Structure 1
């Protein structure tokens, strides 16, 4: 058997974004001493070196930002389509919010490095851990909300949902200090751009790339759903590309399957929310499969599958009307159309079924993600979930 090409080059070989903080050497920040023995040394960065910028096709013109994308929070308000937890690149530290300067002590053994972003209740910072001697992402309550019980509850909930998750496609939680001053969580720093940034800078993916991307994300969702976790915010800006491999981040609104949300208003990002997520209060894995369909559609076309808009005091969701976007051609289009079915019970049974469908859609001769002595029929569905989870009982 001839081993297939490394899938780590799936996206990196055809797209790069020199403006992104692709590695710690690139950003010109202080780094701990390294040696050839521990993988360091003075060689050029393999991700950001000129050799890695070879492009397999002409780069399309960058897309302009889309104003119709927003995140709906529990109080019904909306903020820009930027997750509260988005460790995609290093940006210059600012004097807004906490206003940490590089080197400021932000917690025991933690030094501020740069601000990454923020949401309504929290900010995210790249910080240096002197205990672990590596960079980590600190999600910290905003200065004015350090005593707010809802903010602390959100951080505690995210810590509870993500604790114990260990998968290459999931950003890992390292530590939770919900009762500290200020309350914060520490996450793995995922080096690389988001899928959203990659699509904006380099344009849509080729169909084979979309299939391979979808297979990796379906494998990640299979892991999460098998552990009873529904992400509820799968979208390009919540997928980081680490050496070309997708890593799902931002579990701020994730919930155990079958559980009710805290209030009656929907939570999620408007262009990617499943119809039942716009209406119902119960978290079901089928909603993540719908969101995966919207993500794959956008990866293939460069456009949102749906364009919700403000309608009076609320939101109008076209996905509630049952009409899907234009159909993609070929086998990829069949899979995406199934994922975007407005009726959750008619979508693929689970992420395992999606994984099999995407693998079957690969053109002949294209290597998949696993050795040829494995067959997609060998994939066992994760235990504990009935079908696609729609109508599942409350988690205990």
Structure 2
């Protein structure tokens, strides 16, 4: 029997997130505010992240008498105290949404010439953080399905409210007591069946082909994003990454064990938005989903159930009409795979089984 000192660590997956202890880290990027600075009734008590047009801080709100996440527009993007359209849209959309798997809005306003949004402070990690802390960046299939059930419920609700999300990725899903919560609604747009979007916003590996081509977007566009997220949760890879040879993987693992005094590089998971017009060749190089077939999930993780792989591949079909047409269709296909201790509902509770599951 192996001694406890050398026994292999037991996989914990999302369960470990319940014991996640998080304190605001020292900023690794340049922020405009320091701990202790005040903006109106808000006091900065920690740094969270710096995005394209805004900064996120952990703040103390005298009005709400609690710690919250303050999202403040960067000074260079404020025009006479007016926030960019995407920032105002995010506040307007979140004000209408009330769902347990969507980040809670506490208010918005302007202070010292900087527009801000107040959101609940999620101390838990993101799914990106969880994957980075796991061997081969992989969740077990039941954990991955449970995560998608929660995120999918949020997206389904968003669709019913008349919006499409467009920016699904692990970094946009944080955990509240181990339960996935969707945040970052700055690229949300209304579902408009006949209108083509003027922009190409999103994160490259998770964008549906029609999203890249600026074609009409439907609920099936977000189904693709959910499929790409589910693919990464169980394989640790993006849908178009080729499998790594075992010998090569062992070689890189040995390099990872090298103790170096060099500081770790800052990980930037979000792909920059491309505003200039791109040629077809440039598009295909940047977005392989336009021309390359999906690498089957079992090529990375051979033990995956075939029914599960089939559901993932259908969600990632390049043809929007061949995908699940609704998020509920994808969730209905995944639901029977959660059995026994992995069930998310009481054993005798009725689970939706509609006759049109195969086509929706």
Q: TM-score, normalised to structure 1's length?
A: 0.69
SS at match of 2:155: helix
User: Whose relative contact order is higher, 1 or 2, with alpha carbons under 8 Å and at least 6 apart?
Assistant: 1
What is the aligned partner in structure 2 of residue 205 from structure 1?
Answer: 139
* Counterpart contact for 2:223–2:325, Cα < 8 Å: no
Equivalent residue number for residue 373 of structure 1: 348
What displacement does 1:251 show?
A: 0.4
Per-residue deviation, 1:164: 1.9
1:334 aligns with 2:283: no
Paired residue for 1:50?
none
Give distance in 1, aligned partners of 2:151 and 2:289: 22
Deviations 1:231-276 (A, max 9, x none): 1111101111222211111001011111799973410000000011
Runs of 4+ in 1 over 4 A off after TM superposition: 148-151, 259-263, 307-314, 378-381
Measured after TM superposition, the shift of residue 283 of structure 1 is 3.6
Q: Is the 8 A contact 1:93 1:102 kept in 2?
A: no
How many equivalent residue pairs? 304
Q: Is the CA contact (8 Å cut-off) linking 1:233 and 1:291 kept in structure 2? A: yes
Q: Structure 2 matches for 1:131-146, cutoff 5 A?
A: 131-146=63-78
- The farther-off stretch of 370-379 and 249-258 is 370-379
Matched-pair contact (CA < 8 Å) for 2:197–2:214: no
Q: Secondary structure at the match of 1:337?
A: helix
Q: Which residue of 1 aligns with 2:36?
A: 103
| TM-aligned CA deviation for residue 360 of structure 1 | 1.5
Q: Is the 8 A contact 1:231 1:255 kept in 2?
A: yes
Task: Please tell me the root mean square deviation across aligned C-alpha atoms, in Å.
Answer: 3.2
Look up the match of 2:159: 225
Contiguous gaps of at least 5 residues in structure 1:
1-9, 28-89, 382-386, 389-396
Residue in structure 1 matched with residue 91 of structure 2 by the alignment: 159
Q: TM-score, normalised by structure 2?
A: 0.75
What's the CA shift string for 1:164-188, capped at 9, x where partnerless? Answer: 2111110122212268711111111
Conserved 8 A contact 2:231-2:297: no
Q: CA deviation at 1:314?
A: 4.2
- Once the two structures are superposed, residues 204-251 of structure 1 have per-residue CA deviations (whole angstroms, 9 ceiling, x without a partner) of 111121122222222221111111121111110111122221111100
